[in-house]
A and B are shown apart, each in its own frame.
Chain A
Amino acid sequence: MTGENWHQRESYTFDRNVIAEIHRAANTGIYRIRGFGAKRRLPTFDDLVFLGASMSRYPLEGYREDCGTDVIIGEGRAERPVHLDIPITIAGMSFGSLSAQAKEALGRGANAAGTSTTTGDGGMTPEERGHSKTLVYQYLPSRYGMNPDDIRKADAIEVVVGQGAKPGGGGMLLGQKITERVAEMRTLPEGIDQRSACRHPDWTGPDDLEIKILELREIVGWQVPVYVKIGAARPFYDTALAVKAGADAVVVDGMQGGTAATQDVFIEHVGIPTIAAVPEAVRAMKELGAHRDVKLIVAGGIRTGADVAKALALGADAVSLGTAALIAIGDNSPSLEDQYQALGTTAGCWEDYQDGTDPAGITTQDPELSARLDPVVAGRRLANYLQVLTLEVQTLARANGKSHVHNLEPDDLAALTVEAAAMAKVPLAGTSWIPGMG
């Protein structure tokens, strides 16, 4: 280096984003609220690889040999267990945060792929019930729009304790998205900046949760499974406690998990990465003898069939998609570049789900913007995407000699970095070394 550009050297400590944020904070006096998930570099499933078949493992033929992908949740406990054709579900995203068209598209796509969708912080709309063959009903701290009729219409109930984007934080929906209908569904004044509760109003702690689950089961006559969703904070203990409380499935959402609106400081600085959370949740289930009986659903930054397969290999039974599903139906599409530019951003970087200005008509309540999203076409896009993920998982499972995707195991994996090896508890590639395990 000659050093002649020293006056153009950017600081690692105060890089352009940091400086922009300090200016923004100084200008407004309010923390940054945004959507999407954590944007910083984190250890991810990309830091793991499959080993594939070899002399000691036979691969299966790609076209001829079966490779099952189905998942059953709540068998033996609920009268009507949930049957999914693929181990990929659509995560809870509320009507309110999403447009009615987007919810419909998610329902259509999930139906075509044989999987479930999930309500969100705002209750169940008749439209989404109508468009989703298998619909999971979220039971959240705010209990917005909660009523026993809807709970009885659900195919499963998901008690939300936390979310990966903000373990310990409640929902947020800013005034520009609180239209008359959204306000009415939530029994709130129109146009307020809504901050929903972060703790359940009528239970605290795992012993209470057990009684809450009993009550929910009694109300629905033990018909449908009950899931518990946690943000990846202390996944070993939280999973163990959820299992002990009687959950049929535990949803573990890593820190990359998307959100409709949360403080940036929360998104980027609270919770642990998905890759670190999965083995801990699995360990808890194994210690309780519940692994594979109680199902583990993993969310937070799942994008590809490889991500799905790696989550399954670490011991998950299924995964759940938020952000990727929105992208599949058109979020951040380059075809809308002019409009992203007009919003001061660019396709691929847009994160203002909180703002209601979504050019793709997905995270908005604006009638003109949301009318842009054709739910039929968008549903097909989602179905295609889910099909690709499923085919990719099967490809990887067959390559590792597995006749069902649930037969993938940690032994099929190696880690590319020491961090990933330590977090995922699989050996560093080319060694038998798992840091922290001897």
Chain B
Amino acid sequence: MNDGTSATVTEIDMRNTSLRDLNRQLHEATSGHFVVTNPRGAHAVAAGIDSDIVVELRGSVGYYAAGMLQRGTVIVDGNAGTGVAENMMSGVARVTGSATMSAGATGCGGLLVIEGGAGARCGISMKGLDIVVGGDIGHMGAFMAQAGNLVVLGDADHHLGDSIYEADLFVRGDVASLGADCEEKEMSAEDVDLLTQLLERAQMTADPGDFRHFGSARQLYNFHPDDINSEVAEARS
């Protein structure tokens, strides 16, 4: 079956392989290249991969494809449902079509590339992952994003970066509105370098100079209680 070289391609047809058997085979593999045909919108395909394998999913997938990807590469040759590459840790996930909601949710590391567009809550609560989207993203992009970078070559819908922490957002097109505590930041030379690298890693062509940079205004980081009593006491003393 898998002789350990990436030149060998193992084909798995989901018409006659159950999700459990497919994922078991992918979890047991330590190297190799797998082509999965006929996923037909199945959920949790190639979830929980933890080795440097390459998995190509030929066709569209349901929820949580490449979920919690720890290492390796997963390519969705088609569209992906909710939560593609959710909480990925490292490695590369690439969707050649579009992704629906919560793409790359809570991802901690690695690179997620979506060649088409992404739906609502793309990069929600991301924690270190890099996401590059070729098209537009839906509303609440990077909601509560904690760390990592989100690059959007198209437009971003309403409430981008709502309640954002220390993630960086780069958008080439229009931003319908910014969410609470998200503000436009300066585009420094380092930001341009970072963006150049991200585009290169994602194999996307765009001029970094065309992007705007957004991040946290850090106004929601702490409660701001008034303290009338101690002020009055101080004034009296």
Contact = CB atoms under 8 A, between A and B. Distances in A.
Interface in A192-215: 192-193, 197, 201-203, 208, 211-212, 214-215
Given A148-B50, A148-B68, A219-B47, A193 B124 contact: no
A215 B108 contact: no
Contact of B225 (A28, A148, A187, A202): A28
A189 interface: yes
Nearest to A141: B125
Interface in B198-237: 221-229
Q: Interface size class for chain A?
A: 35 or more
A148 B165 contact: no
A19 interface: no
Interface in B15-29: 19-20, 23-24, 27
Given A201-B102, A218-B23, A219-B68, A192 B124 contact: no
Contacts of B101: 202
Query: In terms of DSSP, what is the predominant structure of the interface of chain B?
Result: loop
Interface string B88-105: 010000000000011001
Interface string B26-46: 010000000000000001100
A215 B125 contact: no
B60 interface: no
A222 B87 contact: no
Contact of A219 (B48, B62, B221): B48
A175 interface: yes
B160 interface: no
A327 interface: no
B106 interface: yes
B24 A197 contact: no
Contact of B227 (A28, A146, A203, A222): A28
Contacts of A187: 108, 127-128, 146-147, 165
B59 to A, nearest CB: 18
Contact of B70 (A26, A148, A222): A148
Query: In terms of DSSP, what is the predominant structure of the interface of chain A?
Result: loop
Contact of A142 (B50, B83, B108, B125): B125
Contact of B106 (A28, A143, A214): A143
B222 A192 contact: yes
A197 B143 CA distance: 10
Contacts of B50: 148
Interface of B: 19-20, 23-24, 27, 43-44, 47-48, 50, 62-64, 67-68, 70, 82-83, 86-87, 89, 101-102, 105-106, 108, 121, 124-125, 127-128, 143-144, 146-147, 165-166, 221-229
The 10 tightest CB contacts between A and B, nearest first, are A219-B48, A202-B83, A202-B102, A215-B44, A148-B68, A202-B105, A29-B226, A192-B221, A143-B106, A201-B124
Given A187-B146, A211-B64, 8 more contacts: A142-B125, A143-B87, A189-B165, A197-B125, A212-B64, A215-B43, A215-B67, A219-B47
Interface of A: 26-30, 142-143, 146-149, 151, 174-175, 186-189, 191-193, 197, 201-203, 208, 211-212, 214-215, 218-222
